[in-house]
Amino acid sequence: MPRTYHLWTIGCQMNAADTRGLAAQLESLGLTPTDRAEAADVLVMNTCVIRQQAEDKILRVLDNWRAFKQRRPELILTVMGCLVGRQAGPALRAQWPFVDVFLPPSDPAALLELLRPHDLDAAARQALRRVAPDADAAPALPPSAQGRTVTAQVPAVLGCSHAYAFCVIPYRRGPERSRPPQDILEEIRRLADQGVREVTLLGQIVDRYGLDLGDGADLAGLLADAAHIAGIWRIRFLTSHPQWVTDRLLDAVARIEKVQPYLEVPLQSGHDGVLAAMRRGYTVRQFRELVARIRQRLPDAGINSDIIVGFPGETEAQFMDTCRLLEELRLDFLHIAPYSPRPETYAARRLPDDVPADEKERRRLLLEDQHRRILTEKHQAYVGRTVRVLVEGRDEKRDRWWGRTPQYKLVYFPATEDLLGQLTDVEIEWAGPFTLVGAAVKPQPKHLTAKA
């Protein structure tokens, strides 16, 4: 009987949430975590294929694991997530014959079935489920993470049905489906009971939450319900597609104290022709209006975004339009990725990947430099200001705590007492492009949830 497990995760927040759920279930079956992959009885790799770079990294780790499997054939080697897609095809199985189990994203059932004690036959298990319907319910956090986990991600919308030209996710995570609100709220309640203080609701297009449920459910309503859960102090959600950010949603963020003034809305490009080629469904003008609308209703909001440089056909002039737009909008954080053709996508099938790799890299660095400069300037306004931070962890090496502001800015500050999971007011003394550094004003009592 396997006794230890090791999970390796790469990719998006949804993967982190899937890994957390799987760890909880493995521990409820009696397994304990180990940091040493080479010694684990169950090895799980939760994979990402959003860009070639992620895939290359997976292949390197998988190569090491192949050697572990050769040495210890009894170990259960599992590959989960977007590399597998909705179903492991024969090609995948032939490519990695040493992998024991392939799991689709968000669906660990096959591994759990394999690990479950089989002394009960199917009928007995069915009967057990009837008398104890929760027999299969694992804790929301793995016991090994309880007491030190302050924030957690909770899937709200699985999959995606909006095939943007570059994006592989719909092909790997399947069609968009919203989880029933009661399941989400129950998971949040359990997380709160286990000490989690902040939850982030997830979806590829989280602002479409509920549209497929057909009963009027939406993200604004879900946020309002989640805010009633005691023990949860902060709520976030991501990723929002620009097209579905309604005034009703923004008003909910403004009105509900626990919902943080923070949005992630990927722009991808600042040129209408490129946006149309990407099939994004909005124009530069609409995105600009969106940012204005957010700032009007939530003057203090943090707005993060994603950019792809070197999309097929992107000219220097089009790229410069992106730079100019971002100079104007002064967003709070950018994730900038060089375009990577992905199998099955429209762009990979129809559009030649005609911007050379070194040119993509040049554009990425240029935009990063610009953005670093904007953030350095913008963050000076924090110096001398006091912000409220939810303390998430400790940087042992430099003997300081870290946490985030409502706008998701990363803050470091020294303190001797244990502040993990506390809301703490920090006066900012130094501000860089990606971090703020300050000193604790005084620890706040736990019940205070007001925004900084």
Binding residues with ligand SAH: total (CB under 6 A): 16
Backbone angles phi, psi at 338, to 5 degrees: -70, 140
Instruction: Work out whether strand 423-431 and strand 400-404 pair parallel, antiparallel, or are unpaired.
Output: unpaired
Q: Rule CB under 6 A: is residue 236 a binding residue for ligand SAH?
A: no
Q: Rule CB under 6 A: is residue 303 a binding residue for ligand SAH?
A: no
* Smaller CB separation from ligand SAH, 201 or 419: 201
Q: Rule CB under 6 A: is residue 156 a binding residue for ligand SAH?
A: no
* Smaller CB separation from ligand SAH, 194 or 322: 322
**Cβ-contact 168, 345 below 8 angstroms:** yes
Q: Rule CB under 6 A: is residue 319 a binding residue for ligand SAH?
A: no
Query: Shortest distance, CB of residue 280 to ligand SAH, whole angstroms?
Result: 8
Instruction: Work out whether strand 262-264 and strand 32-33 pair parallel, antiparallel, or are unpaired.
Output: unpaired
Q: What is d(CA 100, CA 93) in angstroms, rounded to the nearest whole number?
A: 9
Query: Which amino acid makes up residue 161?
Result: S
Query: Shortest distance, CB of residue 238 to ligand SAH, whole angstroms?
Result: 9
Q: Which of 241, 258, 360, 363 binds ligand SAH (CB under 6 A)?
A: 241
What part of residues 171-230 is at the interface with ligand SAH (CB under 6 A)?
204-205
Q: What is d(CA 246, CA 219) in angstroms, rounded to the nearest whole number?
A: 10
Query: Which amino acid makes up residue 4?
Result: T
* Smaller CB separation from ligand SAH, 161 or 380: 161
Backbone angles phi, psi at 334, to 5 degrees: -125, 135
Q: Rule CB under 6 A: is residue 342 a binding residue for ligand SAH?
A: yes
Q: What is d(CA 267, CA 288) in angstroms, rounded to the nearest whole number?
A: 10
Using Cβ positions, the residue closest to ligand SAH within the complex turns out to be 306
Contact string 39-78 vs ligand SAH (x = CB under 6 A): -----------xx---------------------------
Q: Which of 25, 78, 149, 239 binds ligand SAH (CB under 6 A)?
A: 239
Extract the runs of DSSP E, i.e. beta strands, from 166-301.
177-178, 198-202, 234-238, 262-264
Q: Rule CB under 6 A: is residue 337 a binding residue for ligand SAH?
A: yes
Task: Say if residue 73 is exposed, middle or buried (CB neighbours under 10 Å; 0-12, 13-18, 19+).
Answer: exposed
**Cβ-contact 404, 431 below 8 angstroms:** no
Q: Which of 308, 326, 387, 428 binds ligand SAH (CB under 6 A)?
A: 308
Candidate segments 122-130, 180-188, 338-346, 407-415, binder of ligand SAH by CB under 6 A:
338-346
Q: Rule CB under 6 A: is residue 340 a binding residue for ligand SAH?
A: yes
Q: Rule CB under 6 A: is residue 339 a binding residue for ligand SAH?
A: yes
Q: What is d(CA 123, CA 42) in angstroms, rounded to the nearest whole number?
A: 27
Candidate segments 194-202, 250-258, 337-345, 412-420, binder of ligand SAH by CB under 6 A:
337-345
Tokens found for residue 415: 């303190």
Task: Using alpha carbons, select from 220, 192, 207, 201 the residue that is nearest to residue 449.
Answer: 192
Q: Rule CB under 6 A: is residue 153 a binding residue for ligand SAH?
A: no
Tokens found for residue 198: 């902040």
Name the residues that contact ligand SAH, by CB under 6 A: 50-51, 166-167, 204-205, 239, 241, 266, 268, 306, 308, 337, 339-340, 342
